[in-house]
């Protein structure tokens, strides 16, 4: 048995020495690499040493210093590459600097700037592809996103300007079949309203039908170089007219009155399903903001059913979208520590009774003591029997005997005390509670102590026992308010209670137990940041008591008196320490700017479109015929010659100017031919830039300590990928590798692939090899290559990086891939 124990001890010692030796070897290699200027490799070795021997503080400090030094080196290289306009290389250096030292603000700023430029180019390439695919609306959105991210890019500006040449007028969901898209000029003074609409019809080719309620009135208008929508908005708004588009070439004009609105206005029913906003509160919100015709609350589904015109329903939908946001939540970590110390000393002579009694006994062997009272002392038992209390002679001291009378004296017992008692106690409670924003929460950990109360009823002769329960332990009441800046205001109430003593009171049948409970209460309001810990201390109770009991006169004699006295000294001290840390689980959600603020029309005419918006917004685009791709070098098709005839079913354009002052409109070109030429020119102008693939790490920004999380390695913009070997680097100090699985990119067509992931947990490396050469061809596009699972084991920034990225196609030709790193914060 002893041999087995010795062998086990030897194995433990050898394992410990092996770990120390491995850590020291890695540390020595790291120092050598740092001297040689190989800072990245030195950081990896320092991390290996610190991971092997976490108790060595020196390893950890050298790791932090080396990481900071390597980060500055990458920052310098990034600045040099940035000056030389090597943006991809500069981005790679800046991201490496951030992964090594997240506090390096300048590297973070430059990295974010280059990411915006990179995303801008991505949107620009998408716009070019959309334009080639004859999708001008999608191309417009892509170009505008690209220009928002990089406003100084001239190529994006030129592409957007050329695309704006293919505009098409759209009204109330209909693409109007305009005869001409040339600017319209209207100059009238005191002209008839219907005459102005007639001229507008002649210039645009759109027919107008008037309701019988439209009054003939004079109009004065001066409008130059306007679009059809602008002219129509101005005429209808100035004269209080409504409009309804019947088809692509016909518009109904009617007076804008409640009666005519009911006659021509279309109503629709829409159901809004709410997530976080209560339907009862939502209906009050809508009735306060809008004049809804009909609305119903479905409490079972937490939904609203609205029947009204489409414009009001759009406004209601935007209001609900802005207010139906998920509730914020916070996790409150509370630590309550109560430390108590008790010190008591009992020293000296203690008597059972500090008094003596002298009494005489009557003659005879069975005589009684003289009584000091006329009433005999009796004792009543439960059987209602009465007995007389007497004193036994054998327990008394006989002083004299005279004529049969005897005198006796009581003698107290003496005890000499020399005890000292010390006691330390510590009560620790660590509740964690998750609370919604602005909601009250209660948390109790402890016991329910029963307290009995006994009462008797004299008339009935019965006894009643009542039991009441009192909570003893830790009580926590918290009401958090999460701010937009991720600060948490907490209205906190904490009570810590414990049983100090228990005693019985009453007599006879009415006996009750009384419990003495000591409490510590804290009521405060705190304002803390996310993850910030606040400690509340100093709640100290310090009590000292000294008592002395001595014999009269003898206790006052110097030196001897203290030996003949009983001294009882007691010192009690207790302290309560409270620590609270809020951790935001879900921050306050603020809607986007276009959702939080939007135009809502007029008081009696709600709409989500800004009045006279046609003077600000660009018209929609027409879908152009497919043009010859510019990459082939083919010249753009020449514009067709203008035809003299107007489209079928449209009135011919007037040859002369109207008498009322309308400017003449020349013969318009055929819309299709003009649009085709413009579209071919817009497509042929941009030049497709050379595309480079990228390898990104998709990971959460922050994870909780002890939790598992997944990391996806995604590839973008590759062509003919057949082999994808790379090394995934991670910080083993903060996170631990669990496993990896192949993504769905290489095998998305169902053809066979090979996958292998070999992990070196000590060094923080996962060597990944992926191959689909057996399929006979590579794959194009973007997708997920690898999904890795990690566990957060220590708080701090955990860097994730890519190394030895050597992607190739089926012919083993290398592909140009840019790897990007990232950082995960373990909280």
Please report the pLDDT score of residue 298 as a whole number: 93
pLDDT tens digits, 261-273: 888 888 889 999 9
The structure tokens listed for 191 are: 């002209």
Residue 657 CB contacts under 8 Å (≥ 6 apart), including other chains: 663, 664
Find the mean pLDDT for residues 56-60: 69
Query: If pLDDT is split at 50, 70 and 90, which confidence band does 575 have?
Result: confident
Tell me the percentage of the chain whose pLDDT exceeds 90: 9
Please report the pLDDT score of residue 614 as a whole number: 64
Q: Give the chain's mean pLDDT.
A: 76
Query: If pLDDT is split at 50, 70 and 90, which confidence band does 553 have?
Result: confident
Please report the pLDDT score of residue 20 as a whole number: 53
Better-scored residue on pLDDT, 368 or 177: 177
How far, in whole angstroms, is CA 549 from its chain's centroid? 66
Please report the pLDDT score of residue 172 as a whole number: 62
Helix H or strand E encompassing 342: strand 329-351
Please report the pLDDT score of residue 645 as a whole number: 33
> SS3 for 680?
helix
Q: CB 775: neighbour CB atoms within 10 A?
A: 17
Residue 692 DSSP class: -
Find the mean pLDDT for residues 458-473: 72
Find the mean pLDDT for residues 586-610: 78
Find the mean pLDDT for residues 157-179: 69
Find the mean pLDDT for residues 410-418: 78
Query: If pLDDT is split at 50, 70 and 90, which confidence band does 678 have?
Result: very low
Are residues 75 and 107 in contact, defined by beta-carbon separation less than 8 angstroms?
Answer: yes
pLDDT of residue 537 exceeding 90, the answer is: no
Tell whether domain 264-325+590-596 is in CATH 3.30.1370.120: yes
Identical fold, 167-256+605-684 and 690-826 = no
Find the mean pLDDT for residues 707-715: 90
Judging by DSSP bridges, how do beta strands 510-529 and 487-507 pair with one another? antiparallel
Find the mean pLDDT for residues 465-483: 84
Residue ranges of the domains in the chain? 23-103, 167-256+605-684, 264-325+590-596, 330-339+420-583, 356-411, 690-826
Query: If pLDDT is split at 50, 70 and 90, which confidence band does 369 have?
Result: low
Whole-structure pTM value:
0.47
Render 582-641 in DSSP notation, one character per residue: EEEEEPPP---HHHHS---B-SSSB-SSPTTGGGTSPPEEPPPPPPPPGGGTPPPPPPPP
Q: What angle do CA 780, 785, 789 make, to 5 degrees?
A: 165
Find the mean pLDDT for residues 324-328: 87
Find the mean pLDDT for residues 721-750: 88
Q: Choose the weakest-confidence range: 26-30, 438-442, 488-492, 508-512.
A: 508-512
**In terms of Cα–Cα distance, which of 524, 501, 519 is closest to 576?**
519
pLDDT of residue 790 exceeding 90, the answer is: yes
Please report the pLDDT score of residue 670 as a whole number: 31
pLDDT tens digits, 126-147: 888 888 877 777 787 788 888 8
Architecture of 167-256+605-684 per CATH? 3-Layer(bab) Sandwich (3.55)
pLDDT of residue 166 exceeding 80, the answer is: no
pLDDT tens digits, 737-765: 999 988 888 888 878 888 888 888 888 88
CATH of domain 690-826: 2.60.40.680
Question: Angle of helix 105-132 relative to helix 136-149, nearest 10 degrees?
Answer: 160
Please report the pLDDT score of residue 573 as a whole number: 82
Query: If pLDDT is split at 50, 70 and 90, which confidence band does 303 have?
Result: very high
Tell me which range, 66-75, 278-287, 622-631, is most confidently predicted by mean pLDDT.
278-287
* CATH class of the 23-103 domain in this structure: mainly alpha
């Amino acid at each position: 048995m002893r041999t087995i124990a010795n062998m086990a001890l030897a194995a433990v010692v050898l394992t410990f020495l092996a770990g120390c030796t491995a850590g020291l070897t890695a540390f020595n290699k790291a120092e050598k690499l740092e001297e040689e200027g190989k800072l990245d490799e030195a950081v990896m070795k320092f991390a290996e040493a610190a991971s092997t021997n976490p108790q060595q503080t020196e390893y950890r400090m050298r790791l932090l210093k080396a990481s900071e030094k390597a980060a500055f080196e990458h920052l310098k290289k990034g600045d040099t590459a940035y000056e030389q306009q090597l943006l991809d290389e500069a981005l790679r250096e800046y991201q490496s600097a951030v992964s090594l030292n997240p506090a390096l603000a300048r590297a973070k700023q430059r990295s974010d700037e280059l990411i915006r430029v990179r995303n801008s180019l991505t949107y620009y390439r998408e716009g070019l592809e959309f334009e080639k695919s004859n999708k001008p609306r999608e191309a417009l959105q892509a170009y505008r996103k690209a220009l928002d991210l990089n406003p100084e890019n001239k190529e994006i500006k030129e592409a957007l300007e050329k695309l704006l040449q293919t505009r098409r007028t759209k009204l109330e969901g209909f693409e109007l079949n305009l005869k001409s898209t040339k600017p319209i000029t209207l100059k009238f003074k005191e002209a008839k309203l219907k005459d102005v609409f007639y001229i507008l019809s002649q210039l645009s080719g759109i027919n107008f039908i008037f309701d019988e309620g439209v009054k003939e009135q004079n109009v004065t208008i001066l409008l130059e170089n306007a679009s059809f929508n602008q002219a129509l908005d101005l005429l209808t708004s100035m004269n209080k007219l409504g409009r309804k588009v019947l088809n692509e070439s016909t518009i109904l004009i009617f007076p804008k009155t409640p009666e005519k609105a009911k006659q021509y206005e279309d109503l629709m029913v829409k159901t809004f399903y709410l997530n976080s906003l209560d339907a009862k509160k939502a209906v009050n919100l809508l009735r306060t903001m809008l004049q809804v015709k009909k609305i119903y609350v479905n409490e079972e589904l937490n939904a609203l059913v609205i029947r009204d015109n489409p414009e009001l329903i759009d406004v209601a939908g935007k209001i609900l979208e802005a207010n139906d946001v998920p509730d914020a939540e916070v996790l409150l970590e509370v630590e309550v520590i109560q430390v108590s110390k008790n010190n008591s000393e009992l020293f000296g002579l203690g008597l059972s009774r500090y008094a003596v009694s002298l009494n005489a006994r009557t003659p005879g062997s069975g005589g009684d003591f003289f009584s000091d009272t006329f009433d005999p002392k009796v004792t009543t038992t439960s059987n209602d029997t009465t007995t007389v209390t007497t004193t036994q002679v054998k327990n008394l001291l006989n002083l004299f005997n005279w004529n049969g009378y005897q005198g006796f004296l009581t003698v107290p017992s003496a005890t000499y005390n020399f005890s000292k008692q010390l006691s330390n106690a510590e009560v620790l409670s660590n509740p964690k509670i998750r609370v919604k924003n602005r909601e009250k929460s209660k948390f109790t950990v402890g016991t329910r102590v029963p307290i009995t109360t006994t009462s008797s009823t004299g008339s009935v002769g019965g006894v009643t026992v009542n039991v009441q329960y009192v909570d003893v332990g830790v009580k926590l009441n918290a009401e958090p308010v999460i701010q937009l800046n991720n600060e948490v205001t907490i209205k906190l109430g904490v009570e810590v209670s414990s049983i100090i003593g228990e005693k019985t009171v009453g007599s006879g049948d009415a006996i009750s137990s009384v419990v003495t409970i000591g409490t510590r209460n804290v009521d405060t309001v705190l304002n803390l940041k996310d993850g910030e810990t606040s400690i509340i201390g100093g709640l100290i109770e310090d009590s000292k008591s000294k008592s002395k009991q001595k014999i009269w006169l003898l206790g006052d004699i110097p030196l001897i008196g203290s030996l003949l006295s009983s001294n009882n000294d007691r010192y009690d001290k207790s302290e309560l320490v409270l620590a609270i840390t809020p951790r935001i689980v879900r921050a306050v959600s603020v809607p986007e700017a276009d959702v939080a603020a939007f135009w809502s029309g007029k008081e009696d005419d709600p709409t989500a479109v800004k009045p006279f918006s046609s003077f600000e917004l660009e018209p929609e685009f027409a879908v152009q015929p497919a043009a010859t791709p510019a990459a082939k070098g083919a010249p753009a098709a020449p514009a067709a010659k203008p035809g003299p005839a107007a489209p079928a079913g449209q009135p011919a354009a007037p040859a002369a100017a109207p008498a009322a002052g309308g400017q003449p409109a020349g013969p318009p070109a055929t819309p299709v031919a003009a649009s085709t030429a413009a579209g071919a020119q817009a497509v042929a102008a941009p030049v497709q830039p050379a595309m480079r693939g990228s390898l990104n790490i998709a990971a959460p920004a922050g994870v909780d300590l002890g939790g598992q999380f997944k990391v996806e390695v995604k590839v973008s913009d590759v062509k003919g990928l057949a082999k994808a070997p790379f090394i995934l680097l991670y910080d083993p100090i903060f996170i631990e590798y669990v496993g990896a699985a192949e993504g769905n990119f290489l095998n998305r067509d169902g053809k066979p692939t090979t996958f292998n992931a070999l992990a070196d947990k000590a060094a923080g490396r996962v060597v990944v090899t992926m191959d689909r050469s057996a399929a006979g061809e590579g794959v194009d596009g973007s997708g997920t290559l690898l999904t890795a699972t990690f566990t957060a084991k220590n708080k701090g920034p955990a860097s994730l990086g890519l190394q030895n990225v050597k992607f190739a196609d089926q012919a083993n030709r290398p592909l140009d891939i840019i790897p990007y790193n990232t950082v995960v914060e373990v909280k």
